[in-house]
Amino acid sequence: MKKYIFLSFLLLIGTVGFIFSLSMQDATHSNALSQETTRILATLIEALPIPSSFTLTLTNNFIRDLAHMGLFFILGCISLLTCSLGHVGYVKSTLFTLFFGMLTALCDELIQLNSIGRAFEWVDWAKDMLGISCSLVLFSIAYGFFHLFKRFKQKST
């Protein structure tokens, strides 16, 4: 079990490193990466058999917003996994993930102050926190179902 805790901790640290590495990119490289991602996703969506009445327009800003939320959602899930493997408990896992996410998002924005053409933006910090919050909601629902199932299983025996 300790091996899995260690591996999930390494994954957590690696995710933070990946997030910080994206923040260290200058504006030109960051925009090029998100524009290429937008192009690839638009090509994939066009290939899907979607009814013509449904339209989804992908923009560079939309992809950047999803990246903020998505990366921090993943960070929150990995943090909760690490805490769960360590048997930290529901409340402590939730609080640790919330504060760890807040601190990581704050550092992420501060790193951008040193990147050419990038800036600290509270709106981006809020998008990051939305990703963390979504992981907490998912964890809470899964935790509730797990304990409901456990209680149901005990009553049936």
Mean pLDDT by 10 residues, the chain (157 residues): 91 97 94 91 82 73 91 96 92 96 97 92 96 96 89 79
Determine the pLDDT at residue 54.
Answer: 67
Single-letter residue type at 143? Y
Determine the pLDDT at residue 52.
Answer: 66
Residue 157 lies in a domain: no
Determine the pLDDT at residue 60.
Answer: 85
Determine the pLDDT at residue 156.
Answer: 75
Residue 34 lies in a domain: yes
| Domain boundaries, position 39 | 2-151
Residue 27 lies in a domain: yes
Q: What is the pTM for the complete model shown?
A: 0.87
Residue 37 lies in a domain: yes
Determine the pLDDT at residue 53.
Answer: 65
Token look-up 């950047």 returns 64
Determine the pLDDT at residue 41.
Answer: 87
Residue 156 lies in a domain: no
Residue 146 lies in a domain: yes
> Shortest CA distance to 75 belongs to which of 3, 127, 36?
127
Domain count, the chain: 1
Determine the pLDDT at residue 123.
Answer: 96
> Shortest CA distance to 124 belongs to which of 113, 138, 139?
113
